[in-house]
Amino acid sequence: MPAEAPLSKIMDVSLTRSCNYDCSYCNQRQDLDKPMFDMSESKRKIMSNKRRTGREWIDGLNAFPFKGDYDKLIFSGGEPSLHSDFFAIVSQVKGWRAKMIVTNLSFDVDKLIAACRQEKTRVIVQPSFHFEFADFEEFTGKMDKLRAAGLLSNFIPASIVNLPDRDDGEKFREQFRQRGYNVSLYRFEGYYKGKFSYAPLDGFGGVKETKEVFYSSCVQPVKPNGDIVYCTTDTYSENYISYGNICDQKYVPIPNEITVQNYGHRHISAASWTRARNAATGERIWQGKNFRHRTPANELRTFLEIKNYSWLATAKHFVNKMQNRVKKPDAVNQTNLD
Ligand code: SF4
């Protein structure tokens, strides 16, 4: 295979696996001893949730010597704001190309805005609207405040899941539009009411995919205990290889590609960030929509996202519409719906 550009990587720090919501479609099911297609009855379980203090996160992430390898640092969970030192962590971690928070927006945004002002820093908030629990007026009121403070993502101002049997996603998308927000509606992927929903049945997550493959991930998750792992699947398991620990300030080189035997059992939430290749021929078996290299086009995309220009949501919406229009109905469609 010809030499590739470096991966366009993200470090995704899960401050806690706990969440104050309990969405019926939550993807965080963790019975990795079962095949992916057989987890529909699994409950949302909290594993690997030994948390670190705010001081440990701030010191560890500030001292991390390979920040330049990552396009973004994301704080996620569970719901990251449930960490008791959340505001201190997200505002006092510095020196990364961009900081983002992926959240259900249940926290007090005034506290975040004040912490960022005090620390003279910016963190981009990318909220998800979980309609089974969130209140629309309260949610959009918080978006207004974040937007005024320059902390709301203009690339994806909010995202809403589109469930196979419900039209709430589309209805709320319209309501958001009327409030001036071009939010993103994305296809549900995972287990819901006893059914598994995902397009490439013979690709990532296919039950037959048990052979050895070359496997690569653009996201390096970090567990609540500080362990760096290879892909999102490992965040749901106690049986994982760690590539160092942020809070203990121990670092292990992370290979661009590894060999795995359990490809078919990898977790659905890893799919969009990963690539799998046939170990014998090198041919691509699966490549998720977020698996990217630092090509000039992807560098431009990252640059725009980090700059957080206000026209980005409209441009993204337009591109998605065009991509969906030209996709053949039978093709694997990894484009967001809207
Ligand atoms: S807010 Fe997110 S993490 Fe929490 S239950 Fe809902 S889908 Fe799961």
Q: What is the DSSP string of 199-252?
A: S-TTSTT-TT--S-EEEEESEEEE-TTSBB-SSGGGGG-SS----EETTTTEE-
The residue among 235 and 309 whose pLDDT is bigger is 235
Mind listing the pLDDT tens digit for each residue in 191-211?
777 666 665 555 565 656 667
Mind listing the pLDDT tens digit for each residue in 22-52?
888 887 765 555 555 555 556 666 667 788 9
pLDDT confidence tier of residue 12, bands split at 50, 70 and 90:
very high
Nearest CA to ligand 1 atom 5: 22
Other beta carbons within 10 angstroms of residue 202's beta carbon come to 13
Ligand 1 centre from 22 Cα, in Å? 6
Q: How does 91-113 read in b/e, with b if 16+ C-beta sit within 10 Å? A: bbbeebebbbbbbbbbbebeebb
How confident is the prediction for the chain on average, in pLDDT?
Answer: 86
Mean pLDDT along residues 177-201: 77
Spatial distance between the Cα atoms of 55 and 228, rounded to a whole number of angstroms: 18
pLDDT confidence tier of residue 86, bands split at 50, 70 and 90:
very high
Residue 10 has pLDDT above 90, yes or no: yes
Nearest CA to ligand 1 atom 7: 26
Ligand 1 centre from 99 Cα, in Å? 21
Spatial distance between the Cα atoms of 75 and 13, rounded to a whole number of angstroms: 5
The DSSP result for 67-108, as a single string, is: GGGEEEEEEESS-GGGSTTHHHHHHH--SSS-EEEEE---S-
Q: Which of 47, 104, 186 to mutate to test the pocket of ligand 1 (most atoms within 8 A of CB)?
A: 104
pLDDT confidence tier of residue 336, bands split at 50, 70 and 90:
low
Q: Which of 102, 130, 269 to mutate to test the pocket of ligand 1 (most atoms within 8 A of CB)?
A: 130
Overall pTM surpassing 0.85 (yes/no): yes
The predicted pLDDT at position 129 comes to 97
Of the candidate ranges 39-48, 81-90, 104-113, 284-293, the one whose mean pLDDT is the lowest: 39-48
The DSSP result for 314-325, as a single string, is: HHHHHHHHHHHH
Residue 145's nearest CA partner among 182, 172, 107, 183 is 107
Are 23 and 130 in contact by the 8 Å Cβ rule? The answer is yes
Peptide bond just before 180 cis, omega within 30 deg: no
Q: Can you list the domains of the chain with their CATH numbers?
A: 9-195+218-252+296-307 (3.20.20.70)
Percentage above 90 pLDDT, the chain: 56
Residue 17 has pLDDT above 80, yes or no: yes
The DSSP result for 154-196, as a single string, is: SSSS-EEEE-TT--HHHHHHHHHHHTT--PEEEE--EEETTEE
